[in-house]
A and B are shown apart, each in its own frame.
Chain A
Amino acid sequence: MKYMLMIYNRPGFVESLTDEERKYVFGEVDSIMAKLTESGELVGGQALADPSNGRTVRLSGGQVAVTDGPYLEGKEQFVGYLAVDCESLERAVEIAKSWPDIRLGGGLEVRAIMDEAGAEM
C-alpha cells in the first residue's frame, strides 16, 4: 500500500529553530530517509518552500483567479511530504510518529494513495 505522509508546520518554522533544534531536525530527517531507502519503502519526498514563493489558483466570480500565498490560510501550512510503499496503515503511522516536526509544533496527516488496480465484485 502506498501512503502519503503530509507534513504540516508553521511557516518559517525552520528559521525559528535554535542551532541545536535544527541539528536535531535535519539529523532525524536524514536518518529516517536513510532507513526508508534501506528498507525499500521510500517512494519519494520533498520539502516545500515558504508559501510566499507560491500562488493559489481558483475560480472566483466565474474567472480563474491567481492569488499570492497558500490555498488554506492557517497557523500551520503544508510544508512537505513523504511517499512510502509499506505493509499497512499501522506501519505508515509508525513512520509518521518518528518525524521530528511532531516534537516541534507540527503534525502529519497519513493518507492512503488511490490505486489504479481493482477487483471486480
Chain B
Amino acid sequence: VTSSELPAVENLLREAAPQVLGMLVQRHGQFDACEDAVQEALLAAAVQWPVDGVPDNPRAWLLTVANRRLIDAIRSEHSRRERETALALAAPADALLMPAPGDNASAVPNDDTLKLLFLCCHPELSAPSQIALTLRAVGGLRTGQIAAAFLVPEATMAQRISRAKARIKATGAVFSLPPAEQRGDRLRAVLHVLYLIFNEGYTASSGTDLQRRDLTIEAIRLTRTLRTLLPGDGELTGLLALMLLTDSHRDARSGPDGVLVPLAEQDRSRWNRAEIDEGLRLVADTLTWSEPGPYQLQAAIAAVHAEASRAEQTDWPQITALYRVLSLIAPNPMVTLNQAAAVAMVDGPLAGLDLLVPLEQDERMARHHRLAAVRAHLLEMAGDRESALSEYRRAARLTTSRPEQRYLDLQAGRLG
C-alpha cells in the first residue's frame, strides 16, 4: 500500500514519528535502539491502523508500542545481566512517557525534531546515509518505502541505516543541539540533505515513480517543519521557497509521452499557482531581512522565472545579475553552466560560450553531459548547426539518465 493511497494514516505516522522518537531518546538515551523501536511501532501501525482504524490518540499508541519494543530489546540484550535489566526497568516508563491529556499527533514540532535532524545529518556520515536515516528517523518512513524510492533492495537500505547509526554512536554524538559555534555549519548540512531528498524526488520521471514523488513531498514537509522551529534562518526560508517554486513546474516538466520539456517551452498555465504564490511570498520576505545565501539566490532566480507569464517576458538581465552574485558567493560548475545560458539571453550566445571555456579545461567537467548540452544549445543559438548537432549527440552519449538522453536525441534529430 503506497502512502498516496493512505494519506491520512501516512501523515499521522510521519508527523508523530520524530516526536515519539524524541521522547524515547530523551528518556533512554540510546538513539540506536530507540530508533529501531519506533520503526517497529510505525510498521505495526501501518499494518493495523488501516484495518482496525486510527486510535484516538495516535501518538500515545505509537509511544506505548515503541516503548514496549524498546524494553523487550533492552531485556533481551541484558538477559545475561539481570541486575542491569532490573535497573533499566525500575522506572515506570509508560507513565513517564504518556502524553498530557488533550495531546495528539498533530502537536507542534519541538526541539526534539531539530536535535534528530542534526544527529541524522551528522557530517561524519556519507550523503546516502544521511538521507536514508533522516527519512526514517525524522520522516517516519519505513525502510521498505525508502528502499523503493532509491530503487535498492530493502536489505541494502536497512544496512545503510544501521551502519549510519553505528557511525553516529562511534563519533560519540549525542541527542542535543550542537554548540552555538557549530550550529551554522550543522544547519547547512541539514539543509543540504533536505535539498538532496527533494532533488531525488523531483527528477524522477513523472507518473511512473510515485514512490520517488513521495520524496519531494517529504522534503517540503520536513523543510516546512524545520522552518516553524527556526523562522529566523534566511537560507532555510530560501530553501523552502526554492523547493516550492521548482516543484510548481512538476506537471509541466514532461510531456504526455514522458519527454522532458525545457523551462522555455513549458505550458505555464500548468504551473502550480499555490506553490508559486507561497514561494514568491517567501522569497520577497526573506530578502528584506536576510543576507542572501545560495538557496535564497536560487529561489530568487526561480521567482523571476515564475513571474514571467510567457517565456519571452523573462527578465534575463535580472537573472544574469543574480547568477553573477551566486557565482561569487558559491562558485560551482553547475552555477557557471546556468549562468552561461542566462548570459547568452542578454549578451548573445558567444558571451555564454566564453563563460564555458574554463569548464572545458576541467577534466571532470569536460566529460559532463550538461556542459555538452549547454554548449549545444548556445552553438545552435549562434547558428553553428553542425557543431550544435555533434554536441547534442555527445551529450546524449554522456548522460546516464534515460529521459535526458531522450530529450537530447530529439534535439539532435531536429538538427540532423
* Measured CA separation A120–B156 after assembly (Å): 30
Residues of B within 8 A of A43 (CB): 152-153, 156
Contact of B404 with A40 in the complex, beta carbons under 8 Å? no
Residues of A within 8 A of B261 (CB): 120
Residues of B within 8 A of A87 (CB): 126, 128
Secondary structure at the A interface, as helix, strand, loop or mixed, is: loop
Q: Which of A42, A117, A120 contacts B212 (CB 8 A)?
A: A117
Contact status of A119 and B400, CB under 8 A, knowing A37-B159, A44-B153: no
Contact of A118 with B260 in the complex, beta carbons under 8 Å? yes
Q: Which of B155, B204, B399 contacts A116 (CB 8 A)?
A: B204
Residues of A within 8 A of B129 (CB): 40
Instruction: Check A110 for interface membership: any CB of B closer than 8 A.
Output: no
Contact of A121 with B153 in the complex, beta carbons under 8 Å? no
Contact of B400 with A40 in the complex, beta carbons under 8 Å? no
Q: Number of contacting residues on A, CB 8 A? A: 22
Contact of B402 with A116 in the complex, beta carbons under 8 Å? yes
Instruction: Check A85 for interface membership: any CB of B closer than 8 A.
Output: yes
Contact of B128 with A117 in the complex, beta carbons under 8 Å? no
Closest residue of chain A to B129, judged by CB? A40
Residues of A within 8 A of B160 (CB): 40
Instruction: Check B61 for interface membership: any CB of A closer than 8 A.
Output: no
* Measured CA separation A114–B152 after assembly (Å): 14
Contact of A121 with B407 in the complex, beta carbons under 8 Å? yes
Closest residue of chain B to A37, judged by CB? B159
Residues of A within 8 A of B212 (CB): 117
Contact status of A118 and B205, CB under 8 A, knowing A43-B152, A44-B153, A87-B126: yes
Q: Which of A40, A114, A120, A121 contacts B157 (CB 8 A)?
A: A40
Binary contact readout B190-211 vs A (1 if CB under 8 angstroms, 0 otherwise): 0000000000100111001100
Contact of B163 with A118 in the complex, beta carbons under 8 Å? no
Q: Which of A76-121 contact B (CB under 8 A)?
A: 85, 87, 112-121
Residues of B within 8 A of A120 (CB): 249, 253-254, 260-263, 266, 407
Identify which of A38, A39, A113, A117 gathers the most chain B CB atoms within 10 Å of its CB.
A117
Residues of A within 8 A of B262 (CB): 120-121
Contact of B404 with A38 in the complex, beta carbons under 8 Å? no
Contact of B205 with A121 in the complex, beta carbons under 8 Å? no
Instruction: Check B41 for interface membership: any CB of A closer than 8 A.
Output: no
- Cβ distance A113 to chain B, nearest Cβ, rounded Å: 7
Residues of B within 8 A of A14 (CB): none
Residues of A within 8 A of B370 (CB): 121
* Measured CA separation A119–B253 after assembly (Å): 9
Contact of B400 with A1 in the complex, beta carbons under 8 Å? yes
Instruction: Check B109 for interface membership: any CB of A closer than 8 A.
Output: no
Residues of B within 8 A of A85 (CB): 128, 150, 152, 156
- Can you show 18 pairs from A to B with CB atoms below 8 A apart? A1-B400, A38-B163, A40-B128, A40-B129, A40-B163, A42-B156, A43-B152, A43-B156, A87-B126, A113-B400, A115-B400, A116-B402, A117-B403, A120-B260, A120-B261, A120-B263, A121-B262, A121-B404
The 9 closest A-B pairs by CB, nearest first: A40-B160, A118-B403, A118-B401, A118-B404, A117-B203, A40-B159, A120-B260, A112-B400, A117-B204
